Amino acid sequence: MSAGSGSNSVSADAELPSALTSATPDASLGHERLKRASRNVLSCFSLALPVAFGCLGLSPVLIALWGLWTKDPLRSIGMLIVCASILLTLRVWWHMSWELRGTWWGLLPVALAFSLNAFHQNVTWYWITGRMGLNFLPPSLSLYLYASGVLLLFAGARVWQQAWFPLALLLFAQPMPSVASQLVDLPLQQLSAHIARSFASFIGFPPTNPQLLKLMFTPDFGMFIAPGCDGLRGAVTLGYVALIVGYLKRVSIQRWFLYVSGAVLLGYVFNLIRLCALVLYYWIAVGHPALERVAKQVDYGIGGCMFLVATVLFLWAVTRKENNRNSIGTLSTHQTTANGDRQWLNYWKVAALAILALIFAVPGVHAIEDHQQSLAVSERIGELTPQQLDDLMPKELGDYKLNRAWQQQFDGATAVEGAAYAMNGSDEIILGVWLLPTPHSVHDSWMNRGEDPEMRTTKSFVTAQGRTISFDTAFYSDGVTDSLMGNAFCTPSSCSPSHDANGMHMAFTDSMDFTTRGIRAVPIFFRVETLHTDTPRGIIYDSLSAEVRRFLGSVDFAKLSQRFQ
């Protein structure tokens, strides 16, 4: 008995060291993996400071994009696209265990991104034809290059390849290029206005405004149906939602295309329903002051509800089946490699990024200063009273006398000072000055209203003091009036046209300053119009040109620019 017990005791004691020796390697390996994962996470978070500091070199593009997002409702979704890109990129990196296998080649796109920003006002590369233009160096390109460079420099090529979609989203920080707006927005405006007018006529309440591109109801109480109500904002938003959902579900290219096109179509269809609902509300509200006072809020409420219903309907359609088994969540990127023990943050790369950021911080700081100065200019202009602005316009220009003056608003700010001049009962000639510290063309404004320019060319006129100035001119005819308009950018010393010729433009140019008081370029335009007749357009164009030539011969554009510095 005693011997048996001793035998068992010895056997147990003999097994104990064996168990310990077999458990020790697993425990050690798990502990090492935990240490390595903790080190990688700490290294990734330690990148936040140099990466954030590097954004100072991106100040010009960030300021430009922020102005675009906050002033243009159609493109305001761009700020959410950038946030989605950052989160999805971090998600991919997390799925790859915060891998740190960076390559020095990442410094190349980072340096290129900084260089594009440092010379963004001096480097031009774009194609223009007629009313359409395509910029090959958009601001969003710098964001893409910077993010790609940082990811290559620290995470490595594998993570960069896996994060191709989140990085590509940065190219859509400007979600709707101007060329797309001109190709899509204006036709949709016409169609939306036509459908809304047809529905109003169908219910026995035809609109009173006959213009094709303006269906406006009861503007006195703040509710109207205008060309801008084309549903493009909702359609674009749903399109980007579908784009991201298709990526997360890892669907095929064909299904992905169906997701995006279906979402865009759904957003537009629901906007047409919204327009018809507004027509019905108008029909009910007219003559009832209580309903008229809340018309604008009802407009927002109907639009919000329609967009919410469209979004829920789309998400229900794409998620009613189980997620595709190829979803990103199933990526087997947690596997460790033979060299996984050596994943560590190369502080020489951090130093290289910091040096680059420091070099290009100077133009970034200058961009911030210019932006603050432009805001100050806007504030100073906003402090002027309408009478003070009117007094800046000449009372007489040769034989032409000032008939009236006025201001126009844009995004809540006084943007245009206009004045009408006439001579001996002749047609009025409008002289206008763009007050905001940004470039502006009167032709862009009219094209956004759906008016296509004819005979657009650069035309020279002799002005006061015998100075010859070239203007970007165009002839317009809408069937009611015929107009000739011209636009130029003027400083106290010289003027230049506001439009480039058709074709490809790639060059280093002298940037025009629209912000600095005292030397800034001031956008100035003229417009003369007459009632439309059956007279050949060539004869009308020559007649209007002759009248403009008489008028501009007395205008001192250098002095006028000086008054509005």
pLDDT per residue as tens digits for the range 341-377: 344 557 788 888 888 888 887 777 777 777 777 666 6
487-545 tens-digit pLDDT: 999 988 888 887 666 666 665 555 567 766 667 889 999 999 988 888 888 899 999 99
The residue behind tokens 């074709």 is 503
Closest CA relative to residue 525, chosen from 456, 436, 440, 403: 440
| Residue 25 binned pLDDT confidence (cut-offs 50, 70, 90) | low
Report helix, strand and coil shares of the chain as percent, to nearest 5: 60, 15, 25
299-347 tens-digit pLDDT: 677 767 777 777 777 777 766 654 444 444 444 444 444 344 344 557 7
Tokens of 407: 């201001």
Return the percentage of the chain with pLDDT > 90, whole number: 22
Q: State how far the Cα of 444 lies from the Cα of 189, in Å rounded to an integer.
A: 16
pTM for the complete prediction? 0.66
Q: State how far the Cα of 240 lies from the Cα of 260, in Å rounded to an integer.
A: 7
> Which residues lie across from 483 on neighbouring strands?
476, 529
Q: State how far the Cα of 488 lies from the Cα of 21, in Å rounded to an integer.
A: 85
* Greatest C-alpha distance within the chain: 136
Closest CA relative to residue 478, chosen from 442, 453, 443, 445: 453
Return the percentage of the chain with pLDDT > 70, whole number: 68
Quick check: 503 and 127 in contact, CB under 8 A?
yes
**Three-state SS at 230:** coil
CA angle 409, 415, 421 (to 5 degrees): 95
CA 446 to chain centre: 20
218-237 tens-digit pLDDT: 444 444 444 445 567 778 88
How much is the CA Rg of the chain, to the nearest whole Å?
A: 32
Closest CA relative to residue 131, chosen from 462, 525, 445, 417: 445
What is the predicted pLDDT for the residue at 10?
A: 42
Residue type, 196: A
